[in-house]
């Protein structure tokens, strides 16, 4: 896949293209793939965001569990990640010792 192209079903990397429902151009043409394709405005709602981070040192999940007892769920025997939930904004974050 070429740089900047979107794989089917994953959405757009450019927010302005996602808002207008624009699709990447297909040099061969075809329905809905550039070359005279109609552009219509669509309503967009973000329902899931995924981000990853790596840290130079391991994260001590016990410290986070003690400091935020009401917002976290962690049982390392069942699942190695700590689930950190906030009410505002409504989010759930998985935190592992590796980041």
d(CA 75, CA 65): 10
Place of tokens 């016990």: 62
For the chain, give every domain's residue range: 1-47, 48-99
Alpha helices in 28-94 (DSSP H): 61-67
Q: What integer pLDDT is reported at residue 8 of this predicted model? A: 47
Question: Above 50 in pLDDT, residue 66?
Answer: yes
Residue 5: partners with Cβ closer than 8 Å, 6 or more residues away: 24
The predicted-structure confidence for 69-94, as pLDDT tens digits, reads as follows: 889 999 999 999 999 999 988 889 99
pLDDT tens by residue, 15-65: 666 656 555 555 555 555 555 566 788 899 988 888 888 889 999 999 999
Between 10 and 97, residue with greater pLDDT: 97
Pick the CATH number of 48-99 from 3.20.20.80, 2.60.40.10, 3.30.470.10, 3.30.310.10: 3.30.310.10
pTM of the model: 0.53
Say how far apart CA 81 and CA 35 lie, in whole Å: 47
Do residues 61 and 74 touch, judged by C-beta distance below 8 A?
yes
């Amino acid at each position: 896949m070429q740089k900047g192209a979107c794989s089917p079903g994953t959405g757009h990397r450019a927010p302005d293209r996602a808002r207008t429902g624009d699709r990447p151009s297909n040099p061969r043409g075809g329905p809905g793939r550039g070359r005279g394709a109609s552009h219509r405005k669509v309503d967009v709602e973000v329902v899931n965001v995924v981000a990853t981070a790596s840290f130079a040192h391991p994260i001590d999940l016990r410290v986070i569990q003690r400091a935020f007892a009401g917002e976290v769920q962690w049982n390392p025997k069942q699942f190695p990640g700590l689930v950190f939930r906030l009410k505002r904004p409504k989010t759930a974050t998985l935190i592992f010792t590796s980041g």
